[in-house]
């Protein structure tokens, strides 16, 4: 967070961050320097600061892309001055965005993919907000048309990513999040139908739950909601948070029906910068058909020339990652995506095969294309006390640059600590075997130097899921 503690800033305000023969003047950290600095010197300063960041390729916590083809770098450079909002000035970038929307609508089996609506966003978070706003508006319009009162709206979901908590709080929607149970890590259709009512704007299953990578059962949920409608008349929409799975299942598990093949699914979001393989800053939301996005949410802007339909939270935003996304689509095709992701599942399966042999570990979820994303999640088997925690293990692996997060689950499972590796493009078999070597070394180390056990969540520090 760029919200520094002001007292700290004041104390450090004069301190110099760099000095060299070229740099005679001090460069203060927290206020503007008085004079200019030579570009090569300023570059060196910034470059050196960044040495302290982690090495992205060894970050096995993130779902986001950390490797791109050289052609993507070239396109990103070319696009640095292109503003995606300005469709009048950059009509071809806008056309490329539209093509991506229809390609995704087709990938997700929209009944009329060439005519449906959707948009790029800066990530799944913005995309999810847009989908949520559309659902809220549809619900309001329906209530008004029926002459019913508009009271506190709600949404129902399993253990969701933080974006849905944000959506609920920012737009004042009650979130009915089904808590995890001791051995239940995602929603069940019955949990959902027990919680919906006439003020439910939608149900949000996740394709690739953040904590475990597991796919929530969208098809079974849809059937259960069909049965509910028959019984009670309640007609509840589904929005699928396919941040990861939206770019995995269509290629690697096409029989998983999570998409517009189910008429109840009205919108889907996915992160282009996760398994869509685009560089950071790419997300998508697609509606089943144009009528699911209430027209009054779309602004028409004329001050950039021409008529520009705009339904985003951001206005100006970079076009590069969308152009790179299109490059990926045409460069890889379905076959290319399938082989890259299949390789990730294989590497995941390899890790899932090895990790339980290294210590008293028990897998919670592992890398199977029909049931989840290429991730391996494990815990210390119940009743085992190896003399270290998963937080210690995470810490020890960090010494070698690996970021393998340990964190606790939520709800009724919040006493369970787990550790997770996310396998994505660039986390290949070789890198995975190097990780396992360091994993073994860490466990050998703990055998010789036992550490304190029973660390609390607070002591271990939180962990962010990206
Ligand atoms: C990553 C993720 C998000 C947020 O997506 P961003 O692209 O990081 O904004 C939302 N939901 C799920 C399930 C995710 O995995």
Residues 408-434 pLDDT 10s: 999 999 999 999 999 999 999 999 999
Which residue owns the Cα nearest ligand 1 atom 1?
A: 466
How far, in Å, is the centroid of ligand 1 from the Cα of 280?
Answer: 12
- CA-271 nearest atom, ligand 1: 7
A 10 A CB-CB count for 137 gives: 16
Within the chain, which residue ranges are assigned CATH 4.10.280?
Answer: 3-53
d(CA 129, CA 13) in angstroms, rounded, equals 38
Average of per-residue pLDDT across 365-390: 92
Quote the pLDDT of residue 458.
46
Arithmetic mean of pLDDT, 330-358: 97
SS3 162: helix
Cβ pair 358, 365 in contact under 8 A: no
> pTM for this structure?
0.92
Please say if the pLDDT value at position 339 is more than 70: yes
Q: Are strands 118-121 and 283-287 parallel, antiparallel or unpaired?
A: antiparallel
Which CATH number is associated with domain 342-448? 3.90.1150.160
Domain with CATH 3.90.1150.160 in the chain: 342-448
Q: How far is CA 433 from CA 25, 34, 374, 440, in A?
A: 48, 51, 16, 11
Question: Band of the pLDDT at 322, cuts 50, 70, 90?
Answer: very high
In the chain, how many H helices and how many E strands? 13, 13
Ligand 1 atom nearest 160 alpha carbon: 13
Ligand 1 atom closest to Cα of residue 465: 1
Question: According to CATH, where is 3.40.640.10 located in the chain?
Answer: 73-331
pLDDT on residue 310: 84
Q: Are 250 and 275 in contact (CB under 8 A)?
A: no
DSSP code string of 113-127: TTT--EEEESSHHHH
Distance 270 CA to ligand 1 centre (A): 8
Mutate to test the pocket of ligand 1, among 243, 274, 313 (most ligand atoms within 8 A of CB): 243
The domain defined by 3-53 folds into MYOD Basic-Helix-Loop-Helix Domain, subunit B (4.10.280)
For 444-458, what is the mean pLDDT? 72
**What are 255-292's pLDDT values in tens digits?**
999 999 999 999 999 999 999 999 999 999 999 999 99
- 10: three-class secondary structure by DSSP: helix
Burial category of 183 from C-beta neighbours within 10 Å (exposed 0-12, middle 13-18, buried 19 and up):
exposed
Ligand 1 centre to CA of 353 (Å) is: 27
Tell me what pLDDT residue 19 has: 54
Neighbours of 178 (CB within 10 A): 21
Task: Choose the weakest-confidence range: 106-115, 224-233, 447-456.
Answer: 447-456
Q: Is it the case that residue 6 has pLDDT exceeding 60? A: no
Residue 187 tokens, joined = 């929603």
Q: How far is CA 42 from the centre of its chain?
A: 33
Question: Which class is domain 73-331?
Answer: alpha beta
Residue 466 alpha carbon to ligand 1 centre in Å: 7
Burial class from Cβ neighbours inside 10 Å (0-12, 13-18, 19+) for residue 333 reads exposed
State the pLDDT confidence band at 182, using cuts at 50, 70 and 90.
confident
pLDDT of residue 12: 54
* Lowest model confidence (mean pLDDT) among 137-151, 337-351, 353-367: 353-367
Phi and psi at residue 28, in whole multiples of 5°? -70, 155
**244 within ligand 1 shell (Cβ under 6 A):** yes
């Amino acid at each position: 967070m760029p919200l520094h503690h002001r007292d700290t800033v004041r104390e450090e305000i004069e301190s110099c961050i760099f000095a060299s023969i070229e740099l005679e003047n001090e460069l203060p950290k927290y206020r503007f320097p008085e004079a200019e600095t030579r570009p090569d010197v300023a570059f060196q300063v910034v470059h050196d600061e960044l040495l302290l960041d982690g090495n992205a390729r060894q970050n096995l916590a993130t779902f986001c892309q950390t490797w791109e083809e050289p052609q993507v770098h070239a396109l990103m450079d070319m696009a640095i001055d292109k503003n995606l909002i300005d469709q009048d000035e950059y009509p071809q970038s806008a056309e490329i965005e539209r093509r991506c929307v229809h390609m995704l609508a087709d990938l997700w089996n929209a009944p009329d993919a060439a005519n449906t609506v959707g948009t790029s966003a800066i990530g799944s978070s913005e995309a999810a907000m847009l989908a949520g706003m559309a659902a809220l508006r549809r619900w309001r319009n329906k209530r008004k048309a029926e002459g019913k009162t508009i009271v506190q709206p709600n949404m129902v979901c399993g253990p969701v990513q933080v974006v849905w908590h944000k959506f609920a709080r920012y737009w004042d929607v009650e979130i009915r999040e089904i808590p995890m149970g001791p051995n239940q890590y995602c929603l069940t259709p019955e949990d959902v139908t027990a919680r919906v009512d006439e003020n439910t704007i939608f149900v949000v299953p996740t394709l690739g739950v953040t904590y475990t990578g597991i796919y929530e059962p969208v098809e079974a949920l849809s059937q259960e909601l069909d049965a509910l409608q028959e019984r009670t008349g309640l007609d509840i929409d589904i929005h699928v948070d396919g941040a990861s799975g939206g770019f995995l299942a269509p290629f690697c598990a096409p029989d998983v029906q999570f998409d517009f093949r189910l008429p109840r699914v009205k919108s889907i979001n996915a992160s282009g910068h996760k398994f869509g393989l685009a560089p950071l800053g790419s997300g998508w939301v697609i509606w089943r058909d144009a009528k699911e996005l209430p027209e009054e949410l779309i602004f028409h802007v004329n001050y950039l020339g021409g008529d520009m339909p705009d339904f985003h939270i951001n206005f100006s935003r970079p076009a590069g990652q969308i152009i790179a996304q299109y490059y990926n689509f045409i460069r890889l095709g379905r076959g290319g995506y399938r082989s890259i992701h299949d390789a990730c599942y294989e590497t995941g399966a390899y890790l899932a095969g090895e990790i339980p042999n290294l210590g008293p570990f028990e897998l919670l979820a592992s890398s199977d294309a029909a049931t989840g994303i290429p991730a391996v999640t494990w815990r210390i088997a119940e009743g085992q006390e190896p003399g270290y925690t998963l937080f210690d293990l995470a810490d020890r692996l960090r010494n070698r640059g690996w970021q393998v997060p340990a964190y606790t689950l939520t709800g009724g499972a919040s006493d369970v600590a787990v550790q997770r590796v996310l396998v994505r493009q660039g986390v290949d078999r070789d890198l995975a075997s190097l990780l396992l070597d360091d994993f073994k070394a860490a466990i050998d180390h703990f055998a010789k130097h036992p550490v304190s056990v029973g660390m609390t969540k607070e002591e271990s520090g939180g962990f962010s899921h990206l």
